[in-house]
Amino acid sequence: MPSLTRGPKNARKQVDDRRVEFERRVLRAVEELLADGTPYTEIAVQKIAAASGSARSTFYRYFPDKSQLLIRMAELATADLFDAAETWWRADHDDMAGVVRAIGSMIAGFREHRYLLLALSEVAAYDRDVGRYWRGRVASFVDVVRTRLKTDRAAGRIDSSVDPIATAVVLTAMVERSITAAFAANSVVTDEALAESLGRAIWLVVYGDAPEA
């Protein structure tokens, strides 16, 4: 019996591996095409397929349109970026250095995929599917922050006047817009300075008026 199940499982794994490899090729191709400043909307599907070394028919089998392509590419590009911040929000908070490190990891992830993420921010403003995806992704992060703030307030670790929902929205928007603004323009702010400033701002908003231990 084991031999009967091994084949299908191995076949599924091979299919999954091929999909992952294909998607990462497409991600690299899209980022290279965006790097010269060409807007995402002006990059033809045929050009993306050719740059990724795939047939147009294969491309459409995975991505029915460019909106779905951008959404999937964003999922790949932001996986580690969000994970670093979410890990900090779920971990013990000892000092400001921890949040600075988490924000630093987010900034590093954004820099690696900056062309795609800037395109995502632009397209999300007018494309319904992309906008819905991105708002949902940000909302899930807001919920992580809100849950932690609610728990810390109940435990007396932060001031009782802190509103978990409003504060979670403010902090998330601050980080998202600050990083996007820094990368969208020819900013003179270094990644390290940006991480320090954002980390300090988050720490002070949450714990700056915390009750004395």
DSSP-H helix ranges across the chain: 2-34, 45-51, 56-62, 66-90, 96-112, 114-124, 128-154, 164-184, 191-207
- Separation of CA 70 from chain center: 13
pLDDT tens column, 75-114: 988 888 888 889 999 998 889 999 999 999 999 999 999 9
The pLDDT of residue 15:
59
User: CATH assignment of 67-213, given 1.10.357.10, 3.40.50.300, 1.10.340.30, 1.10.530.10?
Assistant: 1.10.357.10
Statement: residue 162 has pLDDT above 50: yes
User: What pLDDT does 74 receive?
Assistant: 93
Q: 88-102 burial, b for 16+ CB within 10 Å, e for fewer?
A: bbeeebeeeebbbeb
C-alpha closest to that of 24 among 62, 66, 67: 62
| The CATH classification of domain 1-63, taken from the options 3.30.1540.20, 3.40.50.1100, 1.10.1040.50, 1.10.10.60 | 1.10.10.60
**pLDDT single digits (tens) 114-158:** 999 999 999 999 999 999 999 999 999 999 999 999 999 999 999
- What confidence tier does 26 reach under pLDDT thresholds 50, 70, 90? very high
The band of 6, judged by pLDDT with boundaries at 50, 70 and 90, is low
What's this model's pTM, rounded to 2 decimal places?
A: 0.83
20 pLDDT more than 70: yes
The whole-angstrom separation of Cα 93 and Cα 153 is 13
Candidates 82, 197, 79, 85; CA nearest to 148 is 85
191-203 pLDDT, tens digit per residue, is 999 999 999 999 9
Spatial contact of 67 and 127, defined as CB atoms under 8 Å apart? yes
Domain boundaries, the chain: 1-63, 67-213
Mean pLDDT of 157-164: 95
Average pLDDT along the chain: 89
